[in-house]
């Protein structure tokens, strides 16, 4: 959707109503260093390998927007397709910013009719604010508003670990998402998910170091269709699977899911 993509420019300053202020910045800011917690601990239980397929050279624009509670969120936009995909990161050290999604965003932008917005959650990466896992859903809703103000109408949320949890929580507040992808997350089991009727993809590594199988499978069973569940034979967590021998297959599955939503 060229009309949408053409409205995201690196050199503009845009006032967004009612709560959204956008300022474009020219370069990525450095990723913040954080103290590991339960969701922030790096567990290198297998040796990553480099994906065989070279990453496409797809340009991007770095953007800022405000959430409804006035925190500044920074993101990177790739592509100018009709379907807008919000990518949300993990808390695990080394994968705790939008940078963990950028290679995938380049692949997806090169292969499909997508616009991909990878964000730094509040207090992570280049974004500001106080750390609050329960309010990360507001960062996603702010991203949706940012994209709506630029003409986008179709939204997908794709997140890993705490990012997957936040996508689910955002979907409960914005059930008009056309797709939801949850990777190696621990979503709450005390929610009513009956209203989440969009297509859903759940992915987990068989040897995930956080032991998420029961929780993922339980919440998956609570979800209405359409839905799919896929397990990979890896023992790294979330988006770190891009680094493994299954990285190409993992990426292809995600892009195939996105493609099914745009048909």
- The residue ranges of every structural domain in the chain are 2-27+59-261
Give the pLDDT confidence of 182-217 residue by residue, as tens digits. Answer: 999 999 999 999 999 999 999 999 999 999 999 999
Tokens coding 249: 């297959």
Helix pair 247-261, 102-111: axis angle to 10 deg: 50
Q: Are 223 and 193 in contact (CB under 8 A)?
A: yes
- The mean pLDDT of 27-52, rounded to a whole number, is 37
pLDDT at 219 over 90: yes
Question: What is the average pLDDT score of the chain?
Answer: 84
pLDDT at 260 over 80: yes
Strands 83-88, 179-183: parallel, antiparallel or unpaired by DSSP?
A: unpaired
What is the DSSP secondary structure assignment for residue 57, as one 8-state letter? -
Check residue 55 and give its pLDDT: 86
As its CATH architecture, domain 2-27+59-261 has 3-Layer(aba) Sandwich (3.40)
| Pick from 71, 78, 101: nearest CA to 88 | 101
Check residue 191 and give its pLDDT: 96
Give the pLDDT confidence of 106-133 residue by residue, as tens digits. Answer: 999 999 899 999 999 999 999 989 899 9
Q: Are 143 and 21 in contact (CB under 8 A)?
A: no
- The mean pLDDT of 73-94, rounded to a whole number, is 96
Instruction: Give the 3-state secondary structure of residue 78.
Output: strand
Confidence of residue 52 (pLDDT cuts 50, 70, 90): low
**Distance, CA of 174 to CA of 56 (rounded, Å):** 32
pLDDT at 158 over 90: yes
Check residue 9 and give its pLDDT: 52
Confidence of residue 51 (pLDDT cuts 50, 70, 90): very low
């Amino acid at each position: 959707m060229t009309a949408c993509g053409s409205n995201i420019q690196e050199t503009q300053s845009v006032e967004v109503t009612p709560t959204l202020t956008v300022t474009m910045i020219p370069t990525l800011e450095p990723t913040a260093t954080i103290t590991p917690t339960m969701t922030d601990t790096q567990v290198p239980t297998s040796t990553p390998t480099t994906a065989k397929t070279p990453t496409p050279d797809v340009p991007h624009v770095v953007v800022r927007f405000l959430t409804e509670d006035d925190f500044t969120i920074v993101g990177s936009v790739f592509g100018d397709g009709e379907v807008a995909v919000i990518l949300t990161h993990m808390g695990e050290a080394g994968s705790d910013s939008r940078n963990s999604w950028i290679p995938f965003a380049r692949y997806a932008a090169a292969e499909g009719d997508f616009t991909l917005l990878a964000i730094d959650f509040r207090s992570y990466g280049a974004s500001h604010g106080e750390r609050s896992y329960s309010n990360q859903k507001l960062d996603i809703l702010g991203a949706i508003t940012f994209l709506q103000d630029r003409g986008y109408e179709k939204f997908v949320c794709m997140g890993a670990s705490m990012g997957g949890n936040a996508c689910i929580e955002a979907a409960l507040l914005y059930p008009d998402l056309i797709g939801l992808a949850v990777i190696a997350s621990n979503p709450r089991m005390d929610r009513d998910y009956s209203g989440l009727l969009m297509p859903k993809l759940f992915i987990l590594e068989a040897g995930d170091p956080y032991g998420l199988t029961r929780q993922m499978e339980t919440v998956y069973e609570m979800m209405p269709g359409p839905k799919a569940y896929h397990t990979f034979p890896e023992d790294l967590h979330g988006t770190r699977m891009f680094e493994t021998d299954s990285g190409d297959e993992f990426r292809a599955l995600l892009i195939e899911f996105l493609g099914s939503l745009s048909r």
